[in-house]
Amino acid sequence: GAVVSQHPSWVICKSGTSVKIECRSLDFQATTMFWYRQFPKQSLMLMATSNEGSKATYEQGVEKDKFLINHASLTLSTLTVTSAHPEDSSFYICSARDWGLAQPNTGELFFGEGSRLTVL
């Protein structure tokens, strides 16, 4: 199946610093990528939809100035947590749908391995 790579897998930073997480689709082009946040023992919460070449679409309640998303190419989206605070500590996961040329064109969703952020 398609592969989505996420980096770093874990990061520890001091309060007030910014952290960038990268999400790459390795063998398919993704015009749209999705960023999720997951709290312990809870399901995934969609934060925003990253659109290649245009602004991201944020879900209600998600601060766009806190969570900056850039989708500069068809294979790379980045999430930057700006001025991170301890409450931003969480597991962040990216995903992308493969609307490839091969049939059947299923739009299957593939996930990265996730990035665990700990803000001290």
Strand positions, DSSP E, 16-120:
19-25, 32-38, 44-51, 57-58, 67-73, 76-81, 90-98, 108-111, 115-119
- 33-52 residues in contact with other proteins (CB under 8 A) are 34, 41-44, 46, 49
- 50-89 residues in contact with other proteins (CB under 8 A) are none
- 88-117 residues in contact with other proteins (CB under 8 A) are 91, 93, 95, 104, 106-114, 116
Query: 99 near 105, Cβ under 8 Å?
Result: yes
Contact track, other proteins, 1-30, x by CB under 8 A: x----x------------------------
